[in-house]
Amino acid sequence: MALRNVLQFIILGLLDQQPLTGYELTKAFDSDIGEFWSANHSQIYPQLRRLEQSGQITHQEEVSGEKLARKRYTVTTDGRAALNDWLSAETEPTVGGRDEFAVKMYFIKSPDDPRLAHMLAAQLGFHEQKLAHLKIQMTRKFPNGQNNNDYGHYLVLDHAIRRETAYCEWLRSANSKK
């Protein structure tokens, strides 16, 4: 099965929440969406053009300052329909992401390998930092716990926290087995 262009649906979903500029869309990938999907401006802006050409989004020009004009994009009825179709479609399970650390672990032959302790400690530091960031995000976005207006966002953040917690536990366990 061909890979779907998921980026178009992420953009439609973000624009369905509120009208955004290309810059604001790019920044969304530095925070919330960036926790589980990455895209940069060189992917986002061409996708905005394609979505607009297909009639799924439209824009209004805004003037900021004396000369700076920017486009604020909104989802159209056709775009909302495409988003809803995508949300309703079956999702392929995520299998075998790229994990360079896991590949390196695969080739470690002995628990006495002198590189192992540093590798595990470095990964643990990274994942503990990521876990702390996710917990801060959860506290900021959902100070009173689950929110029914952003329930999906809550579930994704909860999943990410559980994933990072489990990864940290696994790294600690691997380090104690040496």
Do 38 and 111 have their domain in common? Answer: no
The DSSP code for 145 is: S
Do 106 and 156 have their domain in common? Answer: yes
Residue 46: give its domain's CATH number: 1.10.10.10
Instruction: Give residue 2's pLDDT.
Output: 42
Instruction: Give residue 167's pLDDT.
Output: 93
Instruction: Give residue 99's pLDDT.
Output: 73
Instruction: Give residue 1's pLDDT.
Output: 36
Q: Which of 108, 105, 79, 62 is nearest to 9 (CA)?
A: 79
Do 15 and 84 have their domain in common? Answer: yes
119's CB contacts (< 8 A; 6+ apart) are 101, 104, 105, 108
Q: Range of 168's domain?
A: 100-176
Q: In the listed set 32, 57, 88, which residue is the last one of a domain according to the structure?
A: 88
pLDDT tens for residues 115-137? Answer: 889 999 999 999 999 999 999 99
Instruction: Give residue 178's pLDDT.
Output: 56
Q: Residue range 13-22: average pLDDT?
A: 93
Residue pair 45/22 in contact (Cβ under 8 Å)? The answer is yes
pLDDT tens for residues 140-171? Answer: 989 988 877 888 889 999 999 999 999 999 99
Q: Residue range 7-15: average pLDDT?
A: 92
Residue pair 70/24 in contact (Cβ under 8 Å)? The answer is no
Q: Residue range 43-52: average pLDDT?
A: 96
Half-sphere exposure of residue 142: CA atoms within 13 angstroms, side-chain side: 19
For the cut 80, the answer to whether the pLDDT of residue 96 exceeds it is no
pLDDT, the chain, mean: 87
Length of the chain: 178
First-to-last CA distance in the chain?
42
Do 83 and 16 have their domain in common? Answer: yes
**Residue 62 backbone dihedrals phi, psi, to 5 degrees:** -120, 145
Q: Residue range 97-114: average pLDDT?
A: 79
Do 107 and 47 have their domain in common? Answer: no
Instruction: Give residue 50's pLDDT.
Output: 97
Do 150 and 110 have their domain in common? Answer: yes
Residue 95 lies in a domain: no
Do 19 and 69 have their domain in common? Answer: yes
Instruction: Give residue 29's pLDDT.
Output: 85
In sequence order, which ranges of 54-115 are alpha helices (DSSP H)?
A: 77-88, 100-106
Do 109 and 81 have their domain in common? Answer: no
The DSSP code for 150 is: G
For the cut 60, the answer to whether the pLDDT of residue 26 exceeds it is yes
Q: Return d(Cα 178, Cα 41) in angstroms, integer.
A: 44
Quote the number of domains for the chain: 2
Q: Residue range 68-93: average pLDDT?
A: 88
Q: In the listed set 53, 88, 123, which residue is the last one of a domain according to the structure?
A: 88
Q: Which of 101, 121, 108 is nearest to 171 (CA)?
A: 121
